[in-house]
Amino acid sequence: MADSQSVEVNRAAILADIPHGFLGRRGGVSTGLVAGLNVGFGADDDPAAVAENRRRAGDAVLPGAPLVAVHQVHSAICVTVEQPWDDDHRPTADALVTARPGTLIGIVTADCAPILFADREAGVIGAAHAGWRGAQGGVAEATIEAMETLGARCERIIAAIGPCIAQASYEVGEDFRAGFTAQDGEFFAPGRAGHYQFDLESYIATRLAAAGIRKVEGLALDTYAQEDRFFSFRRSTHRAEPNYGRQFSLIGLPFVA
């Protein structure tokens, strides 16, 4: 990943007029195992490189806006951004919402699904980190509820699911399947003996629809299979690598003129 490459920004058609981006690993300054646009503080990377990558990521989506993130722990906790905080004061959460113009919010992923939300009429946005634990625990629903507290209405909220591990790449065992309901069987395709292939994106999309979100777009981008474009926790684990990079998914509210 040469630093001469431009930052890759994947966008959702459903959010076309809203500053947003599902970023990958292209266009950053990190080297080694996390080469590219690594924005994760926990990746054993040079802090100066991470800071530069985060600056580049923010400028690719909403230049000049403060970029607000959280310390993620696979929870269903959502926080409201009334005033920006810096990276040294990130609260523990896995989702953020805001109605503050000129603010950029984001979450990091490396196989888990990023979800970006917006209610254009209310001027309210949200971002959620949804691995299987967070999705099952209700992080998407918590984000919707927090947006409604700021004046959004569920029937107006739109959502886009960004790059995540795809069903073809996501092998799970019997114990994993046992943690879901019988009704969730549609998200598990038969795999090799004693295993299944789990469809995280479809699981999240179905939960969003059940929560009342009428318009959901999935980008169908597989983080595991596209090494040149995305970081992947599972890919790094399968290779017994000591660390892995993280990518950003960002959404912002424009500055008020």
- The CATH number assigned to the domain holding 67 equals 3.60.140.10
| 3 found inside a domain | no
Q: What are 164-181's pLDDT values in tens digits?
A: 999 999 999 999 999 999
Above 80 in pLDDT, residue 257?
Answer: no
- Percent pLDDT > 70 in the chain is 98
Q: Please count the helices (runs of H) and the strands (runs of E) in the chain.
A: 6, 14
| 41 found inside a domain | yes
* Full residue range of the structural domain in which residue 243 is found: 9-165+215-253
Above 80 in pLDDT, residue 3?
Answer: no
| 91 found inside a domain | yes
| 187 found inside a domain | no
| 238 found inside a domain | yes
Question: Strand ranges (DSSP E) for the chain?
Answer: 9-10, 20-23, 67-68, 78-81, 95-98, 103-109, 113-119, 124-130, 158-161, 171-173, 188-190, 195-198, 215-218, 247-253
The structural domain count of the chain equals 1
| 107 found inside a domain | yes
| 116 found inside a domain | yes
Supply the pTM of this predicted model: 0.96
CA nearest neighbour of 53 among 25, 75, 78: 25
